[in-house]
Amino acid sequence: MFQLTETRKRWLLIICMFYVAFVFLMHKWGHQGDMEFWIDWSKYIFNYGFVHVYDNKNCNYLPLYLYVLRFHTIIQGNLQDIQDNMYTIKYYTIIFDIIGAYLAVWFVKDEFKKLFYFVLLMLNVAYFYNTALWAQVDAIFTCFGFCAIILALEKKTVLSALSLLIALNFKLQALVFIPIVGLILLPQLISKEGIKKIVIAALIGFVIQLLILWPFISNDRMYQVMNVITGSVDKYPYPAVGAFNLWSLLLFNRTIEGMYDITDKVKFGFLTYKQIGSLLFFLGTFIAVFPLMQHLYKKYIKKEITSFSLSTIFLIAALIAFNFYFLNTQMHERYFHPAMISLAAYAFYSGRFFPFILGSVAYLINLERVCWYLAMHNDTYMKSFWMDQRFVAFLYLILMLFMYYLLYAKKRNSENDIELDI
């Protein structure tokens, strides 16, 4: 039975204090383009009903987040308040930033360090910028995806699979969590009990998915949902869409806006930019997960006694998300967000904070260069060398190379690290 211990009371108080502080201090607007989309879709839901939301041709988000906008329209109650109070959608999203930060310190035993690391992450501008300043919603699917990793590590197979399913229903970018969650859960397939859990997860997942989609299925509008899913691929067919990634280095002479003047279907040799990015992503992901695959082979095929460190799990998770953002074309700047929480967790358990710090700096500059919140459109500030996309992309490149080095180099033990039996 759940008991509200003194420790839990303290955590509840701290979490509530952070939430109230963010609610009162958050900027009362966000990224102009995205805020106008939220307002437009919310008004469409209010005027025509939730099931007609995809009649608005600009609506390109999956249904689960549209339920959040539907809740917002009900709370506001009229068109004027829907528009004037659109910024309050941040009040919902910041909950998932806070939960994510708590999950990042889930396995830390020392209560003082646990609290310190939690506060450290919550005060990291790069971590909360996307929600508190931009008003985007990547924190929601990131929270559910990271929760799926935690649940998988705790051998809660059904809950892990369902958490991943929910993440995917918010944004398809949650696919970056599939490789690490899948490999952690893979040993479950070799036992009858594990197979039973997976069947249960599939059945419950089917029911949840049916409930999410039912308004569209029952009104013969499922084709609109499918159009959003299929249309998300190649919706922005450019080398980069605000992301300062590998393509900012390869296409060195292109400005941020200049990326929109060409498509990722341009060929280099016999491969398009998109195909090159996809191949690099799959290669990078394979190199990232190889140590875990090697561990599983030794333990379950060769029957060797071996263990795997918790920090390495989070390093691999960060690398997969980072590869997705840094190597692929068509990437938005926000797609680095899932890597942030895993980088933080890696720092907390390994004691190596340099990747977390460097990732935070690069991500913050990338977000700020696109959103322009902190400088309020100061043109001189935005044209400074450290705001240049090539400089930021170079920081990202250093980060990626260093992360791979850490993955394969000999590791010193940290007092916070845990050897896992997976």
Burial classification of residue 80, based on how many CB atoms lie within 10 Å of its CB (0-12 exposed, 13-18 middle, 19 or more buried): exposed
Convert the pLDDT of each residue in 210-265 to its tens digit.
999 999 999 999 999 999 998 888 888 999 999 999 999 999 888 888 999 999 99
pLDDT tens, per residue, the chain with 422 residues = 557 788 888 999 999 999 999 999 988 889 989 999 999 999 999 999 999 999 999 999 999 999 999 999 999 999 999 999 999 999 999 999 999 999 999 999 999 999 999 999 999 999 999 999 999 999 999 999 999 999 999 999 999 999 999 999 999 999 999 999 999 999 887 788 888 998 999 999 999 999 999 999 999 999 999 999 988 888 889 999 999 999 999 998 888 889 999 999 998 888 999 999 999 999 999 999 999 999 999 998 888 888 899 999 999 999 999 999 999 999 999 999 999 999 999 999 999 999 999 999 999 999 999 988 887 667 788 888 889 999 999 999 999 999 999 999 977 677 788 888 88
Distances (CA, A) of 23 to 34, 39, 246: 20, 20, 36
Q: Provide the H-helix boundaries in 157-272.
A: 157-170, 178-185, 192-218, 222-231, 246-250
Convert the pLDDT of each residue in 322-357 to its tens digit.
999 999 999 999 999 999 999 999 999 999 999 999
CB 209 within 8 A of CB 221: no
Taking every pair of Cα atoms in the chain, the longest distance, rounded to a whole number of angstroms, is 66
The pTM for the full model equals 0.95
**Structure tokens belonging to residue 84:** 């004037």
DSSP letters of 305-362?
A: ---EEHHHHHHHHHHHHHHHHHHSSS-BGGGGHHHHHHHHHHHHHH---HHHHHHHHH
Q: Nearest CA to 345 among 107, 94, 144? A: 107
